[in-house]
Structure 1
Amino acid sequence: MSRVLLNSFLVLSCLGQSLLYDDGAAWRYGIIRAVEGGMINHGISEASWGNGWLGKREDTPTDVCKRWSHQTAIINGTMYLYGGRSMADASQNDKTWNNDFLTLNLKSGWKISSPKLTGLPRPDGPPPVSNGYLWHSYDTLWLYGGEFSDNPPKSPTAFSLWEYHIPSSTWKEHENPKTSKGKHSKSENELVQRSAEGAGINVPQLGRGWYFGGHLDGYTTEGWSQSIARVYLKSMIEYTFPDHSNGQVESLADGKRAGDEGVWRNITEGGLQDSAGFTERADGVLVYVPGFGKEGIILGLAGGTNATFTQMNVIDVYDIANSTWYKQATSGKTPEIRVNPCAVAASAADGSSTQVYLYGGQNLIPYGEQIQYDDMWILTIPSFTWIKVDTDDQAVPPARAGHACNIWNSQIIVTGGYVGQDLSCDSPGIYVFDASELKWQNQYAAREGGNDLNQQASQEDSRALSGSYWYRVPKAVQSVIGGNDQGHATVTAPAMEASEGPIATGKPLTYTVSDSNGNHTGSPNGSSDQGPNVGAIVAGVIAGCLAILAAYLGFCIYLYRKRLALYKSHVAAAQRSSTGSQFGDKLGAIFPPRSADNSSTQRQSVSDVGTTANRYSAHGAPGIYGAGGHVVDDSSTEDLLAGQEPTFLGVMLNPRRSLRVINKD
């Protein structure tokens, strides 16, 4: 069931690992852990945020003291920000949750002191939540997950997916979403629940969004008693967008497309996912990397629970096409353990490497002493090497956690973040990092050109990374993986090679770059499911033809020179042996006597040479003298004295005759 609202966003809450409710207990499917507590209702009540069509509300203020734990997405050069927490001034300590709705213009430049923010009407449908995620297609946003206010405490409503259609500026509510059966997902027809503090990722090219891990508690799930402990998850919820296919879902087999409600799948048994070494986690990040499989891979980094943290010397790798998790060891000095960082990815022009940028976050150990980070790290793929970015002597933003990162025009735009208690305000709280130059900037620079996805000029196909337009591989990365600023990486495998999975069997999605600006010739070269590279085939055929032509011309030059040398040698021999003067008196005027009937008009063509020579021999003219001065009566050899010095054109058009003459001699 759906409801359409003016200025609507799609908020979805979802369950990472399915919860099967029963009186007195909540059972988590997958790990099957019982959580004791009071009764949890089976039913889902009507959301209390509004019904039917709603009028516009007041616009969102753009000027805040602090903003953090919000949700963001970029569509065609416009960043959308929804919800999260904010403070109007430094003295505010409650009522920080909000349903603010803003846009940030990335089609034109601005200074970080005055970013081009626009406040949109606050919607009267989606709830005010933080730590969820915005999935997006090319014209639609979906808000998944998030948690309700704990100061003052607010009881969460039943989960609904809220959709915001950008062209019409309308909201639509999708109530009571249920899971579907698919690969590594046995559950079906279970109500999707709202998770928070998980890691989200979106691939509009595939028409899918994912949310990994997170937690369920009394601020995410309707009817959850606050006496029940928080439950951390290690499952991954997948949402297939309307009108898109997904071969991993049974109901979408054989190319079927999802209906208006989309299709949900709760992935709980994907490879290592059900093993003890694959831990529950919240507050991590997901990053999409093209290639290495039919649909690319997703990397899981950072995060943890209230007791353990995820190390980053080993990275979780999810093969999208097979719905399976693997692990991959990294090399180089690794970042310290942390939660609530942000991460984006940028692709080299030729696709030979993808750089994952990890910024900020916080360490919660020891408990109660939050330490925020301001460092920037790069994980370069496929070498899986960590590189710490040197930002000394730069104007680095204050350390932060719970911020959002997005990349556009190869610039990382950082919005908001929790900066601790020592800084009274962080306004406007938007910063720009040049991913190519590895420098913090005081302004955002718009770029001319580029497509709606802001892909590299050499990568305008549906699988390539968005936001990488104008990206150049930094020198600090080149020094580790080789190549140049366009790519051409020479380190093409991890130091600790994978034994299975997409890193072991796949390769990057690569492209041909034709100039220093990253423009291209040809189509993608690297994925296992790519079709024929028409540009490369045409170029190869042309190059092959030119090579054959060059070889033929070289061969003809060789024959011409040999035949000319033989011709001159035989002429000299003939002159030495001749007693009459049937040939000219002058060296070089060596023409046989012509028949009386054609002496004034005959012109020899290439095809006439043999016939004329035989005629002259039959009339008693001297033949061709061999080395011993004996006459050799052979028409092919007589061609050498058939009235003309050999020409290159003649050799080129009839190389077999020339070769026969040379071999005879």
Structure 2
Amino acid sequence: MMRFALLSTLLVAAIAQQSGKDPTKDVCRRHKHQTCIIDSKLYVDGGLAYYGGSKGNDSVAERNTYLLWEDVSNATRTEYSFPDQHANLSKGRDVPSVSGGVLWPDTVNKLFYLFGGEYNDTEEVQSRDGPTQGFSLWYYDTIYDAWNKTKGHGSQSSIRWPAFGSGTVSDAGIAYYYGGYLTNTSDFKTVGQPVMQNTLISYDMDSRQWDSHIWDDTRRAEGSLQYIPASEGGMLVYFGGVETDKTSGGLSYANMSQIHVYDVANPRWYTQTATGDIPRPRRGFCAGVVWAKDKSSYNIYLFGGFGGPDGTGLGDLYVLSIPSFQWILIWPTPQQTIFPGGKGWSSCDIVRDSQMIIIGGALTNTSVPDCDAPKIGGQHGLLLGQENVELESWWHAPMDNTTGYRVPDQIVARIGGGADGTATAKEPDVGWVTQDLAKYFATTYPGQSRTAMRPIPTVTSQPTSSPPPPAKKTNTGAIAGGTVGGVIALLSVIALVFFCLRSRRRRKAAGEQSQLPEATGGPNPHTPDMARKSVANSSVLQGSTLHSPMPQSPAYSPQNSPPPALNAWHGDAHAPNTYHQNSPSPHLNHHSGDWGPQGSQAQNSYAYQQPYYPPPPEPSQSPKESNPHTMSVELPDVRSPANAEMAQMRNPLPGRYV
């Protein structure tokens, strides 16, 4: 019986290995994940994923428990001209796997922090972060391939753990998080309905000090927060998403012409009106920022999201150029209103200050079963600068030889100057809401040099196209999808064990027992010789993308990324798609496999865009009228009162949350 049990166990293991899901090769679509870039590695953590060859109405999204990575420095050397994704980094069962969180990258100390996000259920929140444990800020060490908790700081006691807010990191090593929802699946102290937040949280990566302020009494979520090196100490820019309606007390879309600006050195919060091609209101989009060489313009690129009363999935691209505060529609032109492959909850990451990699997204059009560029992990490439003019396409596979941002003709035509800057439009068309902003934007911030708080390898290892050997710490969520060769080898071991047992029985060697050798862990490949090194800091931001201007590292863009076509893969790079209704609610539980109410179908049939080839014909719909521009005023500093539950949490986007 013991021998039979042993054989059964080995056979079960072989079958499990053969039928397991590969977290990179078998994923059909992914969304609600969080990302960041450190040096040449782009990390993808958490979120939800659909597996299989297509996504049907009965498909159920599964939680992604793996930490994925890809080398963004050698995309052109891969089969499909996009970075290969790997799932061989450590991530124990005790490390959270959440949706709608943010990764704060510390590019100087080679760490990133996981803040906020939702768990699968309330039980998990209580077991991980309940009253006995308290909230834990986890971080991942990219040098040693290890997860750890930060030591608690007294200032952390007042910090709550929201989800679906927006985050960014300054070049001074200060991480920021704004708004979001407190739910019973993100915060163990929250009971009942989700509570939208209006708190700006900050975390000093060097001192481990937390802080929080309420600068505005309007609660917000699902917008974008970006850091730009303007004024005396940098500035934060926030726009979009949903917010509390001051009239009804419920939820409404934020006016995309209202841009909220926070000055770091002179802590004040302002609202400035933007003009131009105002995007339709939306939430769940992703964005990233780059700027001209002379910092005469800071250009925030926005992709996709969910918009309209029915939660239509969007697939368009806009740029908000600052300090002229002009919105510029860059794709598709002319403007279109129907997007068959429109989606939200993607991630946007800026690479080498010149390109953006958009990963995944939730498609609201249930009539489209196709996977999202499955052979390249749902990735789509966007050229941000003048290269798009030279190659006659915004959508293109990553280019290894393109570094630095050259302001493209489409933006220069609106703000003046040239590819290297010298913009002539230096203030909003409607004027400054206050002369304080005129003064702040007349100054550029050179950045703050930081020194690593720990020894850093004398030569930071550069990832290669092939994944590193297994780390000493085994991944407790070990990849189930083994290779065919591995299965054959395991079956061979089973046959050998069976043969040996039978032979010994025939020899009647009664007292002899065979033992399987114990597996031993290999050496940790992430332990190079260390030497203290002073490292210049780079600025990063979230919202959708963290920007990392380090000389040796591509720019980073925190959580959220856009779009290619969701049709079968044809070997090309992808451009985003366009449309559909019934976007999921951001702050409800997500156990259903549907994006929205059953039976929603695309009403128009448009060709799906290919990665970097000319987009499909534009529909004939006339563009929607822009939102009216209303002058805004400076918002007073409202000192942090307790966050009260909203009187009414009406979701402007009907449908179940997935």
Quote the residue 2:400 is aligned against: 446
1:200-349 correspondence to structure 2 within 5 Å: 200-203=167-170, 205-222=171-188, 224-225=190-191, 228-242=192-206, 258=207, 262-268=208-214, 270=215, 273-274=216-217, 279-291=218-230, 293-305=231-243, 307-349=251-293
Quote the residue 1:490 is aligned against: 424
Cα distance in structure 2, aligned partners of 1:353 and 1:402: 27
CA radius of gyration, larger in: 1
Say if 2:108 is the partner of 1:167: no
Quote the residue 1:129 is aligned against: 98
Cα distance in structure 1, aligned partners of 2:59 and 2:126: 19
1:468-507 correspondence to structure 2 within 5 Å: 469-495=403-429, 496-507=431-442
Seen in structure 2, the aligned counterparts of structure 1 residues 231 and 336 have a Cα distance that, compared at 3 Å, is same
Give CA deviations for 1:497-537 in whole Å, capped at 9, x if unaligned: 231434444325399xxxxxxxxxxxxxxxxxxxxxxxxxx
8 Å CA contact retained: 1:112, 1:431: no
1:26-175 correspondence to structure 2 within 5 Å: 60-89=23-52, 90-91=55-56, 93-94=59-60, 96-110=62-76, 115-121=83-89, 123-124=91-92, 125-138=94-107, 139-149=110-120, 157-158=128-129, 159-174=135-150
Quote the residue 1:404 is aligned against: 347
8 Å CA contact retained: 1:311, 1:337: yes
Shift of 1:323: 2.6
Code of the aligned partner of 1:169? D
8 Å CA contact retained: 2:30, 2:50: yes
1:352-367 correspondence to structure 2 within 5 Å: 352-363=296-307, 365-366=308-309
Cα distance in structure 2, aligned partners of 1:446 and 1:116: 14
Shift of 1:155: 5.4
Cα distance in structure 2, aligned partners of 1:145 and 1:151: 15
Tell me which of 340, 357, 367 is aligned to 1:422. 367
8 Å CA contact retained: 1:415, 1:430: yes
Quote the residue 2:330 is aligned against: 389
1:623-662 correspondence to structure 2 within 5 Å: none
1:457-472 correspondence to structure 2 within 5 Å: 469-472=403-406
Cα distance in structure 1, aligned partners of 2:66 and 2:257: 37
Cα distance in structure 1, aligned partners of 2:384 and 2:85: 22
Cα distance in structure 2, aligned partners of 1:177 and 1:65: 41
Code of the aligned partner of 1:324? R
8 Å CA contact retained: 1:497, 1:504: no
Provide the secondary structure at the position in 1 that maps to 2:251.
coil
8 Å CA contact retained: 1:301, 1:315: yes
Say if 2:382 is the partner of 1:433: yes
Cα distance in structure 2, aligned partners of 1:414 and 1:310: 24
Shift of 1:378: 0.8
Shift of 1:190: 2.7
Provide the secondary structure at the position in 2 that maps to 1:375.
strand
Cα distance in structure 2, aligned partners of 1:286 and 1:156: 31
8 Å CA contact retained: 1:59, 1:120: no
Cα distance in structure 2, aligned partners of 1:393 and 1:494: 24
Code of the aligned partner of 1:281? R
Provide the alpha-carbon RMSD of the alignment.
2.8
8 Å CA contact retained: 1:352, 1:510: no
Structure 1, unmatched stretches of 5+, are 1-57, 180-188, 243-257, 449-468, 512-665
Provide the secondary structure at the position in 1 that maps to 2:253.
coil
8 Å CA contact retained: 1:68, 1:402: yes
What TM-score do the two structures reach when normalised by structure 2?
0.56
Quote the residue 1:190 is aligned against: 157
Shift of 1:156: 6.5
Seen in structure 2, the aligned counterparts of structure 1 residues 238 and 344 have a Cα distance that, compared at 3 Å, is same
Provide the secondary structure at the position in 1 that maps to 2:413.
helix
Shift of 1:63: 3.7
Q: Percent same amino acid among aligned pairs?
A: 29
Code of the aligned partner of 2:42? M
Code of the aligned partner of 2:139? E
Shift of 1:267: 1.5
What TM-score do the two structures reach when normalised by structure 1?
0.56
Cα distance in structure 1, aligned partners of 2:235 and 2:438: 9
Cα distance in structure 2, aligned partners of 1:375 and 1:156: 41
Give CA deviations for 1:204-246 in whole Å, capped at 9, x if unaligned: x211111100011111112543xx111000111101002xxxx
Cα distance in structure 2, aligned partners of 1:161 and 1:59: 28
Shift of 1:376: 0.5
Code of the aligned partner of 2:345? G
Seen in structure 2, the aligned counterparts of structure 1 residues 109 and 219 have a Cα distance that, compared at 3 Å, is same
Q: After TM superposition, which residue ranges in structure 1, 4 or more long, deviate above 4 angstroms? A: 111-114, 150-156, 175-178
8 Å CA contact retained: 2:37, 2:43: yes
8 Å CA contact retained: 1:59, 1:121: no
Shift of 1:94: 3.6
Shift of 1:491: 1.2
Code of the aligned partner of 2:368? L
Quote the residue 1:646 is aligned against: none
Number of residue pairs aligned between Structure 1 and Structure 2: 394
Give CA deviations for 1:583-621 in whole Å, capped at 9, x if unaligned: xxxxxxxxxxxxxxxxxxxxxxxxxxxxxxxxxxxxxxx
8 Å CA contact retained: 1:112, 1:444: no
Cα distance in structure 2, aligned partners of 1:386 and 1:160: 39
Shift of 1:154: 6.9
Provide the secondary structure at the position in 2 that maps to 1:102.
strand
8 Å CA contact retained: 2:256, 2:279: yes
Shift of 1:304: 0.7
Cα distance in structure 1, aligned partners of 2:422 and 2:188: 52
8 Å CA contact retained: 1:161, 1:177: no
Provide the secondary structure at the position in 1 that maps to 2:27.
coil
Structure 2, unmatched stretches of 5+, are 1-20, 130-134, 244-249, 447-658
